[in-house]
Amino acid sequence: EVQLVESGGGLIQPGGSLRLSCAASGFSVSANYMNWVRQAPGKGLEWVSVIHSGGTSHYADSVQGRFTISRDTSTNTLYLQMNSLRADDTAVYYCARDLGTAVRGFDLWGQGTLVTVSS
Amino acid sequence: EIVMTQSPASLSVSPGEGATLSCRASQTVSNNLAWYQQKSGQAPRLLIYDASLRATGIPARFSGSGSGTEFTLTISSLQSEDFAIYYCQHYNQWPLTFGQGTRLEIK
């Protein structure tokens, strides 16, 4: 079955770090552009980061320098390392696969993992 | 950063009627635009990509149009399962951005 399953969310204090994981099955995370998208409680969608099939990455300005996207082809898992977390990083974090080998829309999403940044 | 503005913010429509949702980009995004549907407590679902192409499994009552800075999602003959929040997203350049969403409600 083709699916994405996120894990690693939880309650973390401001300034702390957390690593999110997204386990993929049924396809290779290195074959598609892979993304993280977040949604603050009651708010809209915010794109966070992408890693290209070639390994290049891009970030939203709001997380640049604090978050790092990566992947492990041996375990077929996407990661998001989040450092210096702030209250406004509180959100459900989704991993999402791009439709193809370039950006054309996200056709597969995980169920999301909730990150709460609070003291 | 390209700002995506959706209108209206909310729309009340009766089942069986049609609905037209709009999305405007602050600068041209060519046809690099997608539409998503999100129901409460669920992940978004891709409806339309490349402004007018339906994603796999999406019913023909969903259609997208537009290019440049003005885009439209049209839903003909609304079904009960279509009442949700709809987002547009451009992918013309980094960073990608989403619109703020249009909530489609039952009248």
Nearest chain B alpha carbon to A104 = B49
What pLDDT was estimated at residue A25?
97
Return d(Cα A106, Cα B49) in angstroms, integer.
9
CA distance A86 to A14: 5
Question: Which residues of chain A lie closer than 8 angstroms to B10, CB-CB?
Answer: none
Residue with tokens 């492990």: A72
Nearest CA in chain B to A64: B95
pLDDT number for residue A69:
98
Contact between A44 and B100 using a beta-carbon 8 Å cutoff? yes
What is the per-residue pLDDT across B67-105, written as a single tens digit (0 to 9) for each? 999 999 999 999 999 999 999 999 999 999 999 999 999
Residue where the block lists tokens 């950006």: A103
Only one residue has tokens 């009248």, namely: B107
- Encode chain A (119 residues) as per-residue pLDDT tens digits: 999 999 999 999 999 999 999 999 999 999 999 999 999 999 999 999 999 989 999 999 999 999 999 999 999 999 999 999 999 999 999 999 999 778 889 999 999 999 999 99
Distance from C-alpha of B68 to C-alpha of A30, rounded to nearest angstrom: 31
Residue B50 contacts residue B31 (beta carbons within 8 Å): yes
B3 half-sphere exposure, CB direction, 13 A CA radius: 2
A2-23 per-residue burial string, b: 16 or more CB within 10 A, e: under 16: eebebeebeebeeeeebebbbb
Give residue-wise pLDDT tens across range A40-59. 999 999 999 999 989 999 99
Nearest residue to A97 (alpha-carbon basis) of B51, B12, B55, B10? B55
Residue type, A63: V
**Nearest Cα to B59, choosing from B45, B70, B42?**
B45
> Side-chain half-sphere of A102: how many Cα atoms within 13 Å?
5
A30 by Cβ neighbours in 10 Å (0-12 / 13-18 / 19+) ranks as middle
pLDDT in tens, B50-75: 999 999 999 999 999 999 999 999 99
Nearest CB neighbour to A46, from listed B36, B45, B98: B98
Q: List CB contacts (< 8 A) between A99 and chain B.
A: 46, 49, 55
